[in-house]
Structure 1
Amino acid sequence: TLTNKWNQVAIVTDGTRVLGLGDIGPEAGLPVMEGKSLLFKYLGGVDAFPIPLATKDPEKIIETVKLITPSFGGVNLEDIAQPKCFHILQRLRKECEIAVWHDDQQGTATINVAGLINALKVVGKKMPDVAITLIGAGASNIRTAKLLIAAGARPEHIILVDSKGIVCRHREDIEVAANDYAEKWELALKTNGGDREGGIAEAMRDADVAIAASKPGPGVIQKDWVASMADDAILFVIANPVPEIWPWEAAEAGARVIATGRSDFPNQVNNSLGFPGIFRGTLDVRARTITDEMCIAAAEELAKVAEEKGLDETHIVPTMDEIDVFAREATAVALKAMEQGIARETKTRDALYQGALELIRRAREETKFLMQDGFIRPPPP
C-alpha cells in the first residue's frame, strides 16, 4: 500500500465509562486513550490515535466513526457506557468496511476465555461440564457469556448476576428493557437452566467457576460465598483498582485458581494481552471485521503459549513482557480471518508470524529510543 492506513487504528471514546472513574468526559478520558495508544504500539506495533468525542449521542458517535474510516484500518471503541455500547458496536460492525471492536466487551471476554481454558486444565474439568457464575452483567460479562458459549460452555450451566439479582426469564425489569438491553434479555432466556433466584451468594453456590467484573472491592464477594463453591473452584475477580475479594481471602475460603486484573498478583487477566495482538493480526490481512471465532482463536493461542511454559495455579496466562505472545496471537487471528473469508490479503503462517514479530520488535526499539532521548517522558515518581 502507498499509505499507512493499513496499520492505523482509531481509539474512539465519549468518556462515559472510564475504568475505575466512570463518566468523566472526553477531555479527562484523553490521557487514558493516549496510554492505550502507547500499548498498541509497544505490544502490537500498531499506530493508534486517540479520538475522544464531545458527544454522548449514539447516532453522532456512529456517524463520526463512519466518516473517519477512510483514514484507518480498524476502530477500537473504548470506555462507552452501556447499553449504547452494544448498539454502537452492532451498527458499526454492520455498516463499516473495516474492523470495529469494543475492547471492554470483546477484549475482556477474550482474555477471560483464555484464562479459563487453562484454569480448567489445572483443575481437571471440561468447559461443557462446569457451572459458571458471572458476577456483574455489564458490557464485559455479557460478551464473556456469549464467547464462553461459543467456546463450548452450555448456556443452561451459566448464571449471570446484576445489581438486582440473578438474571432470569422471570425478571420483568429485564424484559421491559429488552429493546435497550437486547443481549441481556437474550441471555436471560437461555441461561440459568435451573431457574435459580437470589443474589451473588445464591449464584455462587456449587459453581465450578465464578468470574466477577462488577465494582471495586474488597467486600463485594464474601469468603463464605467462595467456600460454598464446588471443589477446586476457579475465581476471577477482575475489578480495578481493587478486586471484589482479596486473592488471599479467596484462597483461604477454598478457591484453587484465582485471577485478578492486577499485575501485582499472579494470573493477571488484562485486556492488554488481547487487543495489540488481535489488531496486529486483523490489520496484517486487512480483515473486514473481528469475529467471535477470531477472538476464540486468540484465546486458544494465548492459552497454548502459557501451557507450553508450564501450567499451575499461579500461571494460567502469559505475561505482557513475552514478545512472542503477541506475534503468535496475531498469526492465529489472521489465519482464522483467512479461513472465514473475511481477509482481503492471504499470507502464509510463517510470513504472518515473522512479519508481526518484526513490526513489534521494531516498535519496542523505537519506543525505547524515544524514552532515552526524552521524547517520551518517564512517569512521575
Structure 2
Amino acid sequence: MHDDQHGTAIISAAGLKNALEVAGKDIAKVKIVVNGAGAAAISCTKLYVALGAKVENIVMLDSKGVITADRPNLTPQKKLFATTRTDVHTLEEAVKGADVFVGLSKGNVLSQDMIRSMADQPIVFALANPVPEISYEDAMASRPDVLMSTGRSDYPNQINNVIGFPYIFRGALDVHAKAINEEMKMAAVHAIADLAKQPVPDIVNEVYHVNDLSFGPKYFIPKPVDPRLITEVSAAVAKAAIESGVARKTITDWDAYKKNLMELLGQETKLTRNLHDTARMHPQRIVFAEGAHPSMMKAAVQAKTEGICYPILLGNPDRLRRVAERLKLNLDGIELIDMRADQEQGRRATYAKHLAKKRARQGYTFEEAYDKMYERNYFGMMMVETGDADAFITGLYTKYSNTIKVAKEVIGIRKEYNTFATMHILNTKKGVFFIADTLINRHPDQNVLVDIAKLSANTVRFFNEEPHMAMISYSNFGTDEIGSPVSVHNAVEELQKQFPDLAVDGEMQVNFALNKDLRDDKYPFTRLKGLDVNTLVFPNMSSAQGSYKLLQAIDQDAEIIGPIQMGLNKAIHFTDFESSVRDIVNITAVAAIDAYVDKIKNK
C-alpha cells in the first residue's frame, strides 16, 4: 500500500462523497473527468467506482488527451477507464457539462472558461503539487457555485494524505491484519467522510483561526489536525479487517480501544475518563444558562451524545434552532426552555413564590422575585432549587460577581460553612494538583480561609484522593508577622486543632510546598513530612488565579478542569468566556456527579 496512490484515493473519495452530498448529486449519475492516468489517478478512480460511480460516466485523460477505447497500445490500467465516446478528445471538450473534475496531473491546465462550462455546482479537485491544475482564487472567481479542493493547507477542503495516515496503518497493525483490503479502504473513506459532519473540536478552530467550521461548501473534509481521526479511522479500519477475515487479532471492547488511542495521543487522561465514566453511570438533568452560545450548545450536545446528562438549554427556541442549524448540531432529545415566553408564566410565578418566601426576611417581595425570573441565572437556579433540574451551568456571558450573588440568594451556602469557594484541578506531568480559591473570595480573612481549606479537603476526597494540603503565603511558618501570612498562619492553627488527622500545614512558600525534600530538611516538624502536596490553598483570589493561569500558559499540555464549585446547597457550576467546549463538557461531568452525590446524601 502506498500513500500517494491508495492514500490519495481514500482521502479524495471521502471528499468526493461529501462534496456530492453538499451539491445534492447522486454519485451513480454524475459525470466525472479525471485528468491524469498515473498510479494515483487509477487508484482514485477505482475507489470512486467502488463508491458507486459508473465507469461509463467517467472520462480519463493522459498526456495525449482523452483515453478512448479505440486508441492502440493501452496499458491494462488505462483500458479500465477508456471511454467509448467519440465526441471528446481534449480536456476542454471533456469537462463541458461534467459534474466533477479530478486533477492528478500538472499545474495550470484547467481554465476558468472550462469550469464555467461544467454543470451546476461543479466539483473541482485540483490536486497537482506544488501548482494545482487551477489556482483556488481563479476557480472561485470563475463562478460562485464551485466546490473546490486542492492539496494546499492554506485553502479550504485540503486533500491531504495525513488525514488517513498513520491512522489506517494503526488500525491494521492493531489487529495484526495480513493485508489492507478494499473493505478496509472503504471503511476509512466512510469514517473520514462522516467525521466532517460532526461538530468541529476547538483545537481545529484554533489552529485555522476560525470560529465555527461546519459541514458545507468550505468544509466537507476533516482538517489534518482533527484529533478524532486517530480513533475514528483506526477503529473503522480495524473493524473492517476483522469483519473481512484478514485480522489475526480481535478487538471486542471498542470504547476501551478508542480511549487507549486517545491516551496515547495525549487527548484524554485517566482523570477526565473517570469523570466522564462516573457521570455516565447516573446522568442528570442539567440546565445550560447561555443555550445559544456556540460553545455551550456544542458542549450540551456532546455531553448528551456521551451519555453524561440530559441537557436543558435556556433561550428562545427559534434562535436556538437557528444556531444549531448553522453549527450543524442535532437538538433532538434536548429540552429548550424560553423563560421569557408567555407559556412559562406559571412556572415563573411558582419560582417567584418560592424565592420570595425563602428570602422574606431579606426584604424580598413576590413582585421583585417575579421580575428576577426573567433572568437566566435566577430562572435556571430556581429550576435546580425546586427539583425541576439537577444541576446548572452558567458563566459564559454573566459577570461572576452577579452570578455569585444569585447563587447565594437562590441556592444558599451549606449550613456547616459561612462561604462557598471554587477550585481548579491541574493535571500536569508532575501529577494532579487542586488549587483554591480561584473565583469567589477575593480577600479572605482567617475564618474564610478555614472554610476554603475544609471545602478543599472534602472536594479532593470527592475525587477519590487524600488531601495533602499546603496553605500558601510569601513567608514560612511565622517568619512574617503582618499582613496575609498572619491570617494563613492562624487558619492553619485552627485547622490543626479541629482536624488533628488532616495533613495540612503552613503558611509556606510554594517551592517548599512542592519540594518535600527541601521542606522536610528545613522544617522537619511539619505535619506534611514525607508527603507530596496535592492541594494548595492560596491567601487570596489573585494569587490562586494567577498561579493556575501561569501554569496553564507555561505548560500547554497541562489539563485544567474548573472552576469547580464547593459549598453551595445544590450543584451550581461556573464557566467563563475562555472556556472551550471540552472545558464545559468536563464541568458538566463534575456537575452531574455532584448532583447525584447530593441526591444520595439527601435520601
* 1:285 maps to 2:175: yes
In structure 1, C-alpha distance between the alignment counterparts of 2:248 and 2:265, rounded to whole Å: 22
Which one of 77, 94, 102 corresponds to residue 183 of structure 1? Answer: 77
For residue 152 of structure 1, report the CA deviation from its aligned partner: 0.7
Q: Counterparts of 1:66-77 in structure 2 under 5 Å?
A: none
Q: 1:124 aligns with which of 24, 43, 51?
A: 24
Does the C-alpha gap of structure 1 residues 360 and 198 become closer, same or farther in structure 2, counting only changes over 3 Å?
same
Q: Which residue of 1 aligns with 2:463?
A: none
- The structure 2 residue matched to 1:172, chosen from 55, 72, 78, is 72
Distance in 1 (CA, whole Å) between partners of 2:53 and 2:258 is 30
Q: Is the 8 A contact 2:69 2:84 kept in 1?
A: no
Match of 1:327 in 2: 231
Q: Distance in 1 between matches of 2:53 and 2:152?
A: 26
1:358 Cα deviation from its structure 2 partner: 2.7
C-alpha deviation, 1:251, in angstroms: 1.7
Write out aligned runs for 1:248-327 (5 A).
248-254=137-143, 256-309=146-199, 310-327=214-231
Counterparts of 1:131 and 1:137, CA distance in 2: 17
User: Which letter maps to 1:288?
Assistant: K
**Are 2:92 and 1:201 aligned?**
yes
Q: How many angstroms apart in 1 are the aligned matches of 2:183 and 2:68?
A: 27
Distance in 1, Cα, partners of 2:120 & 2:89: 22
Distance 1:295 1:196 in 2: 35
One-letter code of the match for 1:276?
P
The equivalent position to 2:36 in structure 1, one of 121, 136, 144, is 136
Give the distance between the partners of 1:196 and 1:274, measured in 2 at CA.
38
1:196 and 1:295 mapped to 2: Cα distance?
35
Distance 1:333 1:259 in 2: 25
Aligned pair partner of 1:224 in 106, 113, 122: 113
- Shift in Å at residue 321 of structure 1? 1.4
Q: Do the aligned residues in 2 keep the contact of 1:236 with 1:260 (CA within 8 Å)?
A: yes
Give matches, 1:368-379, under 5 Å.
none
Aligned to 2:255: 350
Runs of 4+ aligned residues of structure 1 deviating over 3 Å after TM superposition are 193-196
1:196 positional shift: 4.2
Q: When the two structures are superposed, what TM-score results if normalisation uses the length of structure 1?
A: 0.64
Bigger-Rg structure (1/2): 2
- Counterpart of 2:4 in structure 1 is 104
Q: Is 1:340 the equivalent of 2:234? A: no
Q: Structure 1 residues 280 and 128, CA, compared in 2 at 3 Å: closer, same or farther?
A: same
Aligned counterparts of 1:273 and 1:335: Cα–Cα separation in 2 = 19
Number of matched pairs: 255
Partner deviation per Cα, 1:151-181 (whole Å, 9 max, x = no partner): 111111111111001112111131xxx3xxx
Aligned-CA RMSD value: 2.1
- Residues 58 and 81, structure 2, Cα contact 8 Å, conserved in 1: no
Q: CA deviation at 1:361?
A: 3.0
Gaps of 5+ in 1: 1-100, 367-371, 373-381
Q: Deviations over 1:69-89 (max 9, x none)?
A: xxxxxxxxxxxxxxxxxxxxx
TM-score, length-normalised on structure 2? 0.41
- 1:234 maps to which of 123, 138, 160: 123
Cα distance in 1 for residues equivalent to 2:41 and 2:160: 14
Q: 2:15 maps to which residue?
A: 115
Secondary structure, counterpart of 1:318 in structure 2? coil
The question of whether the paired residues in 2 share the 8 Å contact of 1:133 and 1:159 is answered with yes
Structure 2 residue matching 1:235: 3-state secondary structure: strand
Superposed CA deviations along residues 2-21 of structure 1, whole A, max 9, x for unmatched, are xxxxxxxxxxxxxxxxxxxx
Q: CA-to-partner distance for each residue in 1:299-358, whole Å, 9 max, x for gaps?
A: 111111111133111101111211111221000010011110000011022233223323
Separation of aligned partners in 2, 1:114 and 1:278:
14
Q: Distance in 2 between matches of 1:194 and 1:307?
A: 37
Greater RCO, 1 or 2 (C-alpha within 8 Å, sep 6+): 1
Alpha-carbon deviation of 1:271? 0.6
Amino acid at match of 2:62: D
Q: Match for 1:199: what amino acid?
A: T
User: What's the offset of the Cα at 1:195?
Assistant: 4.2
1:87-119 Cα offsets, whole Å, 9 max, x none, are xxxxxxxxxxxxxx1111100000110101110
**Structure 2 unmatched runs, 5+:** 200-213, 268-427, 430-553, 555-603
Identical counterparts, % of pairs? 41
Alpha-carbon distance in 1 for matches of 2:176, 2:5: 22
Which secondary structure state, in structure 2, belongs to the residue aligned with residue 128 of structure 1? coil
Equivalent-residue separation in structure 1 for 2:176 and 2:241 (angstroms) = 9
State how 1:13-162 maps to structure 2 within 5 Å. 101-162=1-62
The amino acid of 2:243's aligned partner reads E
Q: Tell me which residue corresponds to 1:361.
A: 266
Amino acid at match of 2:78: K
Contact 2:59 2:81 in 1 (8 A): no
Amino acid at match of 2:71: R
